[in-house]
Amino acid sequence: MSVEPIPSWPGELMDLGERRVHVRSTPPGPSETAVYVHGLAGSATNWTDLMGELSDVVTGHAIDLPGAGHSPEPPGGDYSIDAHARTVTALIDRVAGGPVHLFGNSLGGAVSVRVAATRPDLVRSLTLISPALPDLLPRYGPARVALSAVPRLGEWAATQLSALPAERRLNATLGMCYADLGRIHPERLREAAEELRRRDGLPYAAAALVGSARGLVAEYFRRGAENLWRQAAQVTAPTLVVHGRHDRLVNPRMAARAGRTFPHVRLVLLPDAGHVAQMELPGRVAREARRLIRETAPIPIGND
């Protein structure tokens, strides 16, 4: 693996009214806009390579959700899916003022479904990569997320984990998320370890992780019209759902339910990917996303 990966896109703190968030953006140019939403314990840098792949067709903006990445903690410590969805909606209003191509991975997929269902005017297309939609038969990884949401246990576990070397924690996390760790460039590992050590020094880092885990678990037990699967059925935007066959966190069998639920959906199952296909196989995900962007953009976009 000799080719050096592209550097992280430049970021800035944006004032979204009641909160400030850090956003990384590709250079302006394409008239179409994309917004990217990361998963639990992730950040805007999870989208670096996919943003690069698509930078000729969309101007991309990847958010660090409140308390994640370089974003400060939110007022009142609200890490619910609803709060994250309000933040993403405010970001779309700020950077586009109109419909965007919305991308979400894992927890970010759950957030993106809520945005697309409640604000259809702001979503031109929806791309979900291993979205963390409710599954009452969760795999080992989601079961650990559920345990982290138990009062006091989550904070205790986060404190214990932070005492372990960053590289050890990082290898365990990536081992859960990737199908093939050999696809990770050493420079990406170095960047991730450096970021994890920086996060260790933040007083709110553990609370942000545990709070977001609790927010996600709460959605698994939500009933009524705001249940995420019911909201998925209301999404009017053309939708692409990508799952990796080797996903250890979100069971790829959930793709079948997504196919039955989203009104306008195309499913892609990647036989050699894990939970973060946009990081592991960005070129392949980009080809699928580019097709959707091309089909939904109001102004024709050329083929590859």
Q: Are 288 and 268 in contact (CB under 8 A)?
A: yes
pLDDT at 297: 85
Q: Percent of the chain beyond pLDDT 70? A: 88
Structural domain contains residue 188 = yes
**pLDDT tier for residue 143 given thresholds of 50, 70 and 90:** very low
Strand, coil or helix: 37: strand
- Per-residue model confidence as pLDDT tens digits over 24-40: 999 999 999 999 999 99
Tens of pLDDT, residue by residue over 239-279, are 999 999 999 999 999 999 999 999 999 999 999 999 999 99
C-alpha span between 266 and 202 (Å, rounded): 40
What tokens does 146 get? 């559920």
Mean pLDDT of 183-202: 94
Among 35, 92, 45, 21, residue whose Cα is nearest residue 192:
45
pLDDT tens figures, 45-61: 999 999 999 999 999 99
Query: What percentage of the chain's residues is helix, strand, coil (to nearest 5)?
Result: 45, 15, 40
∠ CA 283-285-288 to the nearest 5 degrees? Answer: 110
- The mean pLDDT value for 52-78 works out to 97
User: How distant, in Å, are the alpha carbons of 57, 112, 172 from that of 31?
Assistant: 8, 21, 40
Asked whether residue 302 is domain-assigned, the answer is no
CA dist., res. 294 & res. 176, Å (int): 33
For the chain, the domain total comes to 1
Is 179 within the bounds of a domain?
yes
Asked whether residue 1 carries a pLDDT value surpassing 50, the answer given is no
Assess contact for 248 and 256: CB atoms under 8 A: no
Q: Is the pLDDT of residue 63 over 50?
A: yes
Query: pLDDT at residue 150 above 80?
Result: no
Residue 114 in domain: yes
- Name the residue range of residue 106's domain: 11-296
Q: Which of these ranges, 110-114, 163-167, 198-202, has the smallest mean pLDDT?
A: 163-167
Answer yes or no: is 181 within a domain. Answer: yes
Report whether pLDDT(83) > 60. Answer: yes
- For the segment 173-185, the average pLDDT, to the nearest whole number, is 94
- Give residue 21's pLDDT band: very low, low, confident or very high (50, 70, 90): very high
Q: What is the mean pLDDT of residues 201-230?
A: 92
CATH number at residue 242: 3.40.50.1820
pLDDT class of 153 with cuts at 50, 70, 90:
very low
Query: What average pLDDT does this structure show over 267-295?
Result: 98
The pLDDT assigned to 166 comes to: 75
Question: When comparing pLDDT for 219 and 97, which is higher?
Answer: 219
Position 6 in a domain? no
pLDDT of residue 10: 98
Lowest mean pLDDT across 214-218, 231-235, 244-248 = 214-218
* Strand runs labelled E in 59-183: 59-64, 100-105, 123-129
pTM of the model: 0.93
In a domain, 52, yes or no: yes
**How many angstroms separate the CA atoms of 213 and 216, rounded?**
5
In a domain, 4, yes or no: no
